[in-house]
Structures are given as C-alpha cells and as structure tokens.
Amino acid sequence: MEGRRVVTVSALQFACSDDVSTNVDKAERLVRNAQKKGANIVLIQELFEGYYFCQAQREEFFRRAKPSKGHPTILRMQKLAKELGIVIPVSFFEEENNAHYNSIVVIDADGENLGLYRKSHIPDGPGYQEKFYFNPGDTGFKVFETKFAKIGVAICWDQWFPEAARAMVLQGAEILFYPTAIGSEPQDQGLDSREHWKRVMQGHAGANLVPLVASNRIGKEIITTEHGNSEITFYGNSFIAGPTGEIVAAANDKDEDILIAEFDLDMIKSKRHSWGVFRDRRPDLYKVLLTLDGSQPSL
C-alpha cells in the first residue's frame, strides 16, 4: 500500500503596526506557533511588514520597497523555514531597478528561495490605490514544487479571477494560497464584501477540486492622504477551504488567529481526476477568454 501524502496548512491573521521589526517579530512568533500545531506550510498575510500603505498616493512610500535579493525579511524567513522545516510564502514590496511590484517568494522547508511571483491584477479604487505603486506583474501564474506539495500562490485582487486559479491548477498546483489585505471601503461604509470574498474563493476550490488558504489582516489603519485621512478596518475572516469549497477552518473579524487544516493530497488527487472537470475541458472553445470585450477571435 502506497504511503499517504498528508499535508497540514496554516493561515495566519494579525493586526499590523507601521513598524517593520514589530510586524516581522509577530509574524515569526505566529509561524513558530503554527509549526508547533503541526503546520507544514504557513501563509502570512499580504504586505505584512507595515500598514497597507496603498490607501494614499505618497511619494515617500516608495522607500518601503526593496529588491528581492538580500531582502532582510526574506533572509530572516529563509532561516526560520530551514530551522522549522516548513514552507513559508513571503509577501513584500519589491523594487527592481525602476519597476515596483507587489510580490511574493516561496521559501521551501530547507530554506531555499524557490522563486518569485508578482501580482498580476492591480486594483485601483478608493483605499486600494495600488496602481500608483505597482507595475502589473510579469511572471505569469506559477506553481512552486515544495517539499510537501506543489502550490500555487497569488495575491489579494488576483483571488477574484477564476482564470488565475485555473491557470495554477492546470500547471499542477495541489493547494492554492492567497495572502490578502481587504476590509472596509472608504467611499462606502455600508459595503461589506467579506461573504462575497469568501464565496468567490470557495468557488475556486470547488471548481478545481483543490484546497485553498486565504490569510487576511485585522485592525484599523489610518493613512494621511492628499485629501485628508483614509481609514480601513480590515475584516480578517481568514479561512481554509477544502476541495469541494467547504470551509474547514475560519477566523473572525477581529482576533489574531492561527488556522490549521490537514489534507490527504493523494486522496484529493484521485477525486479530482475521477470528477472529470479536467478531462472534459474544451480549451478550443475558450478563446473568447483571450479578449476583453467577449468578441469571438477569428479562427
């Protein structure tokens, strides 16, 4: 009888200050606690080194960006991953010459940096003015072969696009990970997207028959903008979904948390293959997805 490939995943949820060392210390503490709970892969939320600065368009915030090579937080997480024998995706604000990206590196359980993904879909709206800071990612959707699983990692706004999830699973991703920063909408205090947010990603899990891990921050963050203060209350609700979209672990909207879930990847693989959604795909009919306006491209 073949051995089972069982992996335990974790999503962290915490409030950020605007001090890098404080946040990275907190992230390390929670990563260590997740590993003690049995986690093999631990997801930290998006841009966890500080406040979500994209509420404002401020020139000085570009100073927060650093190249991936020699990045102090990445180096620290490499050391931590190797010590604990776990996989850690690390979100950061990347500077590459005159380009800037919302990026993530995946650190394997031996501390090796497996490579870089740059956020593909860049939002632009009140409170989430990322187009001021980030170039559209140029890496394409990627899969990282870690010690424990082949994983796909995308970032926040990417999670609203079914094409991104499908592209990663087509490349062999066995689990999807989404670090996130989402909360209230400064222009409309009555708008609460949390249930919509969860349902969309549950759909990705169910449509692709893979587990999915989403890590979001909590807390109120106030940023001075060119038009006064902007305020977002991040709503947490970090969760882990199983391969039919079912939520197997969930956090609330205000408390620091460490979510844990275990999955048998070989059993899920068998169910994914037998369900037939990948067998019955018709890529020849999907060319319309390559257009913006839905027009049928010429054959």
Catalytic positions, written as ranges: 46, 119, 156
CB 152 within 8 A of CB 175: yes
> Tell me, what DSSP letter sits at residue 81?
H
User: 231 CB contacts (<8 Å, ≥6 apart)?
Assistant: 55, 184, 186, 220, 221, 222, 223
* CA proximity to 137, closest of 173, 172, 170, 96: 96
Cα-based angle 198, 200, 205 (whole degrees, multiple of 5): 90
CB 208 within 8 A of CB 245: no
CB 234 within 8 A of CB 181: yes
CB 115 within 8 A of CB 153: no
* CA proximity to 210, closest of 237, 246, 180: 246
CB 107 within 8 A of CB 88: yes
User: 259 CB contacts (<8 Å, ≥6 apart)?
Assistant: 10, 11, 12, 13, 213, 238, 239, 240, 249, 250, 251
How many angstroms separate the CA atoms of 215 and 202, rounded? Answer: 14
Strands (E), 14-56: 41-43
